[in-house]
Amino acid sequence: MASRGRRGSAPAREGEQRHEEQAEQQVPAPQGPVLPPPPPVDYGVLMQGLVQAMQTQAHTQAALQAQLEAQLELFSVVLMKIVLQERADVWWASLLRTRFEDGAIDVAWDEFVRLFWAKFVPQHIEDRME
């Protein structure tokens, strides 16, 4: 009987091994075409391309920065015009009420220019313009 146990256990192990071998053989093959390996990389050409791209980007950024600065300058001029126009309107309305009796007294153009420059143009700017 002891021999039966040995004989009985050996075929069970062989069956397990056969089952594992069959499972390994049944692994599906990869789908689709098999691609060739990528070509070798020429790092010198790659680096030249990167340097050229960086130089192009630098030129583009410089042009964009110049354009942005020009737009900011234009924006600041427009903004200052709005601010100064409002201030000048308030100043002139106040001056008409107080000094020229609500417009009852005519104001000569030369007088207006003199008053305007005194109020809104700093002396050092006026000196440069002479």
Convert the pLDDT of each residue in 28-87 to its tens digit: 666 778 888 888 888 888 889 989 998 888 888 888 899 999 999 989 888 888 988 999
Q: Which of 78, 89, 76, 77 is nearest to 120 (CA)?
A: 89
Task: Please state, as a whole number, how many other Cβ atoms lie within 10 Å of the Cβ of residue 113.
Answer: 10
Q: What is the pLDDT of residue 18?
A: 65
Convert the pLDDT of each residue in 86-127 to its tens digit: 999 999 889 888 888 877 788 889 988 898 889 888 888 888
Q: What is the pLDDT of residue 69?
A: 92
Q: What is the pLDDT of residue 17?
A: 67
Given a cut of 60, is residue 129 above it in pLDDT? yes
Contact (Cβ atoms closer than 8 angstroms) between residue 116 and residue 88: yes
